[in-house]
């Protein structure tokens, strides 16, 4: 693994850690949460006919935290986020993610960081559940399709 990639992965992990710790402080102000992803999924079933779902967990002006669920066979078409970076931590499932034309297998434990304005897509034949962090806070739609 190259030094740059190692530094990038470590930096992403630290970012996730800070975001999660900030959100998970048990006695904090509104917007902070201590949650169990399995309980979140159980309380928010995937709507009939839908292939993907982003379940909000917590948000403040710096970031939005979701549990993202993708049904088996889900495909995320190529797109960019013009004003947000996106970081994913895969909890369950696997698939392939394409970032700027480079395909990578993802599985439980994978950390994926996608800087803003970066073309990305995914194929998730077996479905996938991930912790999803958008920075800054997700206030309005920011998904721009790319042909």
In the chain, where the domains are located: 3-145
pLDDT at 30: 54
- Is the pTM here over 0.85, yes or no? no
pLDDT, residue 104, reads: 97
Per-residue confidence (pLDDT) for residue 31, from 0 to 100: 57
Q: What is the pLDDT of residues 80-127, one digit of tens each?
A: 999 999 999 999 999 999 999 999 999 999 999 999 999 999 999 999
pLDDT at 78 > cutoff 60: yes
Q: Which CATH number fits domain 3-145: 3.40.50.2300, 3.40.50.620, 3.40.50.150, 2.60.120.10?
A: 2.60.120.10
Residue 40 has pLDDT above 50, yes or no: yes
Q: What DSSP line would sit under the chain, residue for residue?
A: --HHHHHHHHHHHHHHHHHHHHHH-TT-STT-----HHHHHHHSPPPTT-SEEEEEEEEETTEEEEEEEE-TTEEEEEEE-SS-EEEEEEEEE-EEEEETTEEEEE-TT-EEEE-TT--EEEEETT-EEEEEEEES---S---EE--
């Amino acid at each position: 693994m190259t030094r740059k990639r190692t530094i990038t992965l470590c930096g992403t992990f630290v970012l996730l850690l800070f975001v999660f710790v900030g959100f998970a402080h048990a006695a904090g102000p509104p917007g902070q949460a201590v949650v169990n992803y399995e309980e979140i999924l159980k309380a928010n079933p995937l709507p009939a006919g839908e292939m993907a779902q982003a379940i909000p967990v917590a948000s403040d002006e710096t970031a939005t935290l979701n549990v993202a669920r993708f049904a088996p066979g889900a495909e995320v078409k190529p797109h960019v986020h013009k004003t947000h970076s996106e970081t994913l931590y895969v909890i369950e499932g696997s698939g392939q993610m394409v970032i700027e034309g480079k395909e990578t297998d993802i599985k439980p434990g994978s950390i994926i960081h996608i800087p803003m304005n970066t073309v990305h897509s995914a194929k998730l034949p077996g479905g996938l559940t991930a912790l999803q962090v958008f920075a800054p806070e997700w206030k309005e739609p920011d998904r721009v399709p790319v042909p």
